[in-house]
Structure formats: C-alpha cells, structure tokens
C-alpha cells in the first residue's frame, strides 16, 4: 500500500575522516623541491634582510618615542594611575597597546610569522577600545564598563567598541557634509575584515593552520617564517600596525598634552614609517624585481 512505502535516506554519506597511514620514503621530487626552495630563498633573503631591518628599526624608534611620551605623564603629573577616571583608563590602556606593540616588534625581528597574528589581534583590540574611549567625550558607558571590570562576561567587547567608533565617524561625516566638505567615510567594514583575518589564527581555524603549511614541500612552519618572502610580509604588517598604534596611542597622548601635540609630535612618526615603507618596500613584486635586476 502507498501508506506503507518508506522514504529512503536521501542525505549523501559523509566521507570518512579516519586515516590509514603507510610508511614511505620522502619522494625524490620533494627533496629536489626543498633544495630549490633553499637556493631561491637565499637569493631573496639578501634583498629582504636589509629592507626588513630598516623597517623594524623605524618601528623601534616610534615605539621608543611613544613609550617616552606615555611615561612622562606618570612622571610629571599627579594623575591617579589606577583611579576610577577616564584619564586613568586611557593611560592604562595606551600602556597596554605599547606593551603589545613592543612584543610584536620583538616577534617580527625574531622571524615569527603566522602565529604573530595572535598578538596582533590583541593589539588591534586594545587600539579599538582605546579609540572608542576617545571618540566621544560625552559617551561614558564603555569607559565605566572597563573601569568596573566586573565578573567574567562584563567587559568591553569589540562589537561595542567598533559601534562607538562608527557612531563617531557617522556624526563627523554628517557635520562635514553640512559644512560643505567631503565626508571621510566609515572604516567599520575594513576593521571587521581585518579582525576576522586575525581571529582565524587566534581561534586556530583550519585556514590559519593551512597558512603555515607548504603542501608541495610537505613541511610545516613552526612559528618562524618559512621563507624570506613570508618574513617580509610579517615585517610589512608590523610596520602598518605601528601606524595604527601611533594613531590610537597618539590620540590618547593628545588628550593629555593638548594643543597641536598630535600634528607636531605624532604625525612625523607616521610619516617616518611611511617613508621607510616606500624606500624599502617588502611586497613580493618589489622583492622579485630587485632580485632580478641584481
């Protein structure tokens, strides 16, 4: 009877996730590929090394100056450093940004590659929260939430920090349009994309693990960059993050020093990093062009 007809299972069978390994010698073609990689990498490293060292040196100079300006606040004012105030929150969080920035420079100098994104994510988060604290002096909720530091789940989340910055950018754009000036636009989509890329490493996503794999050479990178080009990419990313740190921490310092502090003291730091990125480029095309012309 029709009523007794049973419907078959139409879901496709899932492939097995269990492996049955067999021992084998390393294939000759893989050995040859590794040897060729070592030869080519040695040539490219001659181009990358001085450029990377120049960019890292520029980042160190910026880090030293930011740390000096930050410490000067503690040395020359009566700010209650652990007090319940916006000033304390801004100073403490700016210091955390500088600490993470220092770690990032050390990692990059040591050749750390993909895993360095974990520290980068923490730095990016700290900079986002710091900017949210500074975006609107009349907005206190996020600052008070951070100062309260209450319980396991009551802390400033990245979505709330980005939303606060987005409200500020929207208001600024509206004000500029009313004044007959072109709006600056919003950065929230770019920040969310950047945050997702770093979070994939922090959450140990498969795509992040694959980024450390050289499949053809059957090798995994254990923390350190597996090639000169990968190190070059890590250095360029560190120098770009250095500019983000100057923007966020520099604005925090401006709130203490007032006046034209950012324009006079911070803008030249950004310009110095941008200049060295132009004179010592580390993108793959620039490195290959330099290698071929040499």
Apex 247 CA angle, 242 and 250, nearest 5: 105
* Tokens (6 digits) for 117: 């994104």
- The more confidently predicted of residues 100 and 195 is 100
Q: Is the pLDDT of residue 15 over 80?
A: yes
The model's pLDDT over 116-138, given as tens digits with 9 standing for 90+, comes to 999 999 999 999 889 888 877 77
Q: First vs last Cα of the chain: how many Å apart?
A: 83
At residue 155 the predicted structure's pLDDT band, cuts being 50, 70 and 90, is confident
The pTM assigned to this predicted structure is: 0.86
Percent of the chain's residues with pLDDT above 90: 64
Q: Which helix H or strand E contains 220, and what residues bound it?
A: strand 219-220
**Contact call for residues 64 and 247 (beta carbons, < 8 A):** no
Mean pLDDT lowest for which of 33-47, 153-167, 261-275?
A: 153-167
Residues in the chain: 294
Q: What is the pLDDT of residue 130?
A: 93
Which residue would you say has higher pLDDT here, 152 or 110?
A: 110
Average pLDDT, the chain: 88
Q: Report the distance separating Cα 196 and Cα 159, nearest Å.
A: 12
184 or 198: which carries more pLDDT confidence?
Answer: 198
List beta partners, residue 112: 224
Query: Does residue 252 surpass a pLDDT of 80?
Result: yes
Residue 182: per-residue pLDDT: 67
**What is the rounded average pLDDT of the residues 266-274?**
93
Q: How far apart are CA 249 and CA 91, in angstroms?
A: 9
Residue with tokens 């890292």: 56
Strand pairing of 219-220 and 213-214? Answer: antiparallel
Q: Is the pLDDT of residue 222 over 60?
A: yes
**Angle at which helices 28-76 and 267-279 cross, to 10°:** 160
107-111, 199-203, 266-270: which has the minimum mean pLDDT? 199-203
Lowest mean pLDDT among 23-37, 163-177, 229-243: 163-177
Min mean pLDDT across 5-14, 141-150, 265-274 is at: 5-14
Whether the pLDDT of residue 1 is over 50: the answer is no
């Amino acid at each position: 009877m029709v009523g007794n007809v049973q419907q078959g299972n139409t879901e496709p069978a899932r492939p097995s996730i269990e492996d049955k390994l067999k021992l084998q010698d390393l294939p000759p073609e893989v050995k040859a590929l590794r040897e060729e990689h070592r030869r080519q990498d040695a040539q490219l490293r001659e181009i990358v090394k001085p450029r990377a060292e120049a960019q890292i040196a520029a980042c160190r100079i910026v880090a030293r100056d930011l740390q000096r300006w930050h410490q000067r606040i503690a040395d020359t004012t009566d700010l209650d450093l652990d007090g319940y105030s916006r000033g304390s929150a801004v100073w403490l969080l700016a210091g955390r940004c500088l600490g993470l920035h220092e770690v990032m420079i050390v990692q990059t100098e040591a050749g750390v590659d993909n895993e360095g994104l974990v520290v980068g994510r923490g730095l990016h988060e700290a900079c986002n929260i710091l900017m949210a604290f500074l975006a609107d002096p009349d907005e206190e909720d996020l600052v008070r939430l951070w100062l309260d530091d209450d319980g396991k789940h009551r802390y400033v989340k990245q979505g709330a920090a980005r939303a606060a910055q987005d409200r500020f950018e929207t208001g600024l754009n509206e004000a500029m349009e009313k004044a007959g000036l072109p709006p600056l636009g919003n950065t929230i989509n770019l920040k969310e994309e950047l945050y997702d890329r770093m979070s994939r490493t922090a959450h140990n996503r498969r795509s992040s693990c694959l980024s450390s794999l050289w499949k053809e050479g059957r090798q995994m990178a254990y923390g350190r960059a597996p090639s000169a080009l990968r190190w070059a990419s890590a250095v360029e990313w560190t120098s770009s993050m250095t500019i983000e740190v100057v923007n966020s921490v520099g604005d925090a310092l401006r709130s203490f020093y007032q006046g034209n502090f950012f324009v006079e003291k911070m803008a030249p730091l950004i310009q110095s990093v941008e200049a060295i990125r132009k004179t010592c480029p580390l993108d793959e095309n620039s490195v290959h062009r330099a290698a071929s012309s040499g």
